[in-house]
Amino acid sequence: MPLLFRHHRRLLLLALLLCLALSTLLAVVAPQTVAAQSETGTRSQQLLDQLENGDPLQQEQAAQELAAIGSRSFVPDLTRIFMATDNPRPAATVLGAIGTPAALAVLVDGLSDEALTPRRNAAQLILLEKDVEAVPALVVGLQNRNPLTRRHSAQVLGFIGSPRAGNPLLRAAHDIDAGVRQEAVWALGEIGEARMQPALKAIARSDPDLEVRIEAERAALRVGGGF
């Protein structure tokens, strides 16, 4: 019995030594990890400041580094910078690199300008680069309260030409805004699905707006090879 007791004591001592060694290791590693995280956070903030306030070359350099990091935690700051800056392309590049639904939604919101402003141009370019990855965000854009956002979302979907956008665009072809309807039927013609021809023919005959009817007729010809 004393031998067994001594054996248990040795096991207990060994377990205590292992726990002590593990605690020592964690005490060394944890501060290093925290320091590394703090260093990364500081660098990210410096890059965001550079993206917002630097000259064009500094903004491009910051965008490249931020895009490589690709943290979704950047999206709120990038949103503010993208909407306020005179040079939105670098911020748009980072948003595209992050590529989350929230990041792409910011770019879709950038389509709200009527003229082809630097912001709208940057948003369109990055959304086109994302190609089919941007389709879900643009489909949401078709339901935006701003008719210009809906109109330009339809336009970019037409440039991308993904059949996944067909049904949402057909719904947009009945939008209350004639400009949205016109862009939607044009986009359907660009996508080129023959199944859309009957609906396009109906729009060409019944839409109250002449420009929409003309565009729908052209689209019906493109998707079906004849009217």
C-alpha distances (whole Å) from 78 to each of 45, 141, 152 are: 11, 19, 21
Contact 97, 70 (CB under 8 A): yes
Asked: is 133-227 a CATH 1.25.10.10 domain? The reply is yes
- Mean pLDDT, the chain, as a whole number? 87
Q: What is the pLDDT of residues 77-107, one digit of tens each?
A: 999 999 999 999 999 999 999 999 999 999 9
Q: What is the pLDDT of residues 146-175, one digit of tens each?
A: 999 999 999 999 999 999 999 999 999 999
pLDDT value at position 192? 95
Given pLDDT bands bounded at 50, 70 and 90, which one contains residue 42? confident
More confident residue, 25 or 97: 97
Phi and psi at residue 42, in whole multiples of 5°? -65, -45
Contact 111, 124 (CB under 8 A): yes
Q: What is the pLDDT of residues 56-81, one digit of tens each?
A: 999 999 999 999 999 999 999 999 99
> At residue 203, does pLDDT exceed 60?
yes
> At residue 46, does pLDDT exceed 60?
yes
Of 52, 98, 112, the closest CA to residue 77 belongs to 52
Measured at the CA of 161, the angle between CA 159 and CA 165, to 5 degrees, comes to 115
Given pLDDT bands bounded at 50, 70 and 90, which one contains residue 41? confident
Q: What is the pLDDT of residues 26-36, one digit of tens each?
A: 444 434 433 44
Q: Could you state, in order of their start, the residue ranges of all structural domains in the chain? A: 133-227
Helices (H), 54-117: 56-69, 75-84, 89-98, 101-109
> At residue 182, does pLDDT exceed 60?
yes
pLDDT value at position 40? 63
Q: Distance between CA atoms of 68 and 40, rounded to whole angstroms?
A: 13
What count of other Cβ atoms lies within 10 Å of the Cβ of residue 95? 32
Angle between helices 101-109 and 118-130 (to 10 degrees): 140
- Cα-to-chain-centroid distance, residue 122: 13
pTM above 0.85, yes or no: no
